[in-house]
Amino acid sequence: MEPDKLMVPRGDNVEFLCETATEAKWFFNHGPLPANADETGNSLLITNIKRRNHGIYECLGVANNPPYYSYISSTILVHSKSEKMHSAC
Protein backbone atom coordinates (compact mmCIF):
# COMPACT_ATOMS: atom_id res chain seq x y z
CA MET A 1 0.00 0.00 0.00
CA GLU A 2 1.42 3.37 -1.04
CA PRO A 3 1.21 6.18 1.54
CA ASP A 4 -0.83 9.28 0.74
CA LYS A 5 1.40 12.10 -0.53
CA LEU A 6 0.91 15.68 0.57
CA MET A 7 2.73 18.69 -0.92
CA VAL A 8 3.34 21.28 1.81
CA PRO A 9 4.99 24.69 1.45
CA ARG A 10 7.86 25.37 3.83
CA GLY A 11 6.63 27.30 6.88
CA ASP A 12 3.08 25.91 6.79
CA ASN A 13 1.46 23.66 9.40
CA VAL A 14 0.00 20.18 8.85
CA GLU A 15 -2.37 18.19 11.02
CA PHE A 16 -3.03 14.45 10.72
CA LEU A 17 -5.78 12.47 12.44
CA CYS A 18 -5.55 8.75 13.18
CA GLU A 19 -9.01 7.22 13.40
CA THR A 20 -8.59 4.50 15.98
CA ALA A 21 -10.53 3.54 19.11
CA THR A 22 -7.43 3.84 21.28
CA GLU A 23 -4.79 6.53 21.58
CA ALA A 24 -2.54 6.56 18.55
CA LYS A 25 1.24 6.29 18.47
CA TRP A 26 2.94 8.35 15.75
CA PHE A 27 6.26 7.70 13.99
CA PHE A 28 8.40 9.63 11.50
CA ASN A 29 10.39 7.56 8.99
CA HIS A 30 9.86 4.53 11.29
CA GLY A 31 11.38 6.35 14.29
CA PRO A 32 10.75 9.22 16.70
CA LEU A 33 8.89 12.36 15.68
CA PRO A 34 10.76 15.57 14.82
CA ALA A 35 10.96 18.36 17.43
CA ASN A 36 8.31 20.47 15.68
CA ALA A 37 5.67 17.69 15.86
CA ASP A 38 3.14 17.53 18.69
CA GLU A 39 1.04 14.44 19.47
CA THR A 40 -2.28 15.08 21.18
CA GLY A 41 -4.55 12.07 21.50
CA ASN A 42 -5.09 10.78 17.97
CA SER A 43 -3.89 13.92 16.21
CA LEU A 44 -0.44 15.00 15.10
CA LEU A 45 0.36 18.66 14.46
CA ILE A 46 3.56 19.58 12.63
CA THR A 47 4.26 23.31 12.79
CA ASN A 48 6.50 25.51 10.67
CA ILE A 49 7.32 22.76 8.16
CA LYS A 50 11.00 22.54 7.16
CA ARG A 51 12.75 20.45 4.51
CA ARG A 52 13.86 18.06 7.28
CA ASN A 53 10.15 17.22 7.79
CA HIS A 54 10.04 15.59 4.33
CA GLY A 55 9.26 11.93 4.89
CA ILE A 56 6.76 9.32 6.03
CA TYR A 57 4.46 9.84 9.03
CA GLU A 58 2.79 6.73 10.42
CA CYS A 59 0.04 6.18 12.95
CA LEU A 60 -0.49 2.94 14.84
CA GLY A 61 -3.44 2.23 17.10
CA VAL A 62 -4.23 -0.98 18.97
CA ALA A 63 -7.67 -1.99 20.26
CA ASN A 64 -9.41 -4.95 21.85
CA ASN A 65 -8.21 -8.30 23.12
CA PRO A 66 -6.99 -10.00 20.95
CA PRO A 67 -5.35 -6.90 19.48
CA TYR A 68 -6.63 -5.24 16.35
CA TYR A 69 -4.09 -2.92 14.74
CA SER A 70 -5.04 0.22 12.84
CA TYR A 71 -2.36 1.77 10.63
CA ILE A 72 -2.18 4.80 8.33
CA SER A 73 0.73 6.37 6.52
CA SER A 74 1.23 9.72 4.78
CA THR A 75 4.25 11.22 3.06
CA ILE A 76 4.99 14.93 3.32
CA LEU A 77 6.80 16.46 0.34
CA VAL A 78 8.14 19.91 1.31
CA HIS A 79 8.69 22.71 -1.21
CA SER A 80 9.45 26.40 -0.94
CA LYS A 81 6.50 28.77 -1.38
CA SER A 82 8.09 30.11 -4.58
CA GLU A 83 8.35 26.67 -6.21
CA LYS A 84 5.50 25.54 -8.44
CA MET A 85 3.49 22.67 -7.03
CA HIS A 86 3.45 19.57 -9.21
CA SER A 87 1.37 16.46 -8.78
CA ALA A 88 2.90 13.99 -6.32
CA CYS A 89 1.54 10.98 -8.23
23-79 confidence digits (pLDDT tens): 788 999 999 999 999 999 889 999 999 999 999 999 888 777 666 666 777 888 888
Residue 88's pLDDT is 42
Which position has the higher pLDDT, 3 or 77? 77
Query: 55 has which bridge partners?
Result: 76
pLDDT greater than 80 at residue 84: no
Residue 72's pLDDT is 72
* Alpha carbon distances (Å) from 48 to 9, 45, 51, 70, 82: 9, 10, 10, 28, 16
Are 18 and 27 in contact by the 8 Å Cβ rule? The answer is: no
Q: What is the CA radius of gyration of the chain?
A: 14
CA–CA separation, 79 and 84 (whole Å): 8
Residue 87's pLDDT is 41
Q: Which domains does the chain have, with CATH numbers?
A: 4-79 (2.60.40.10)
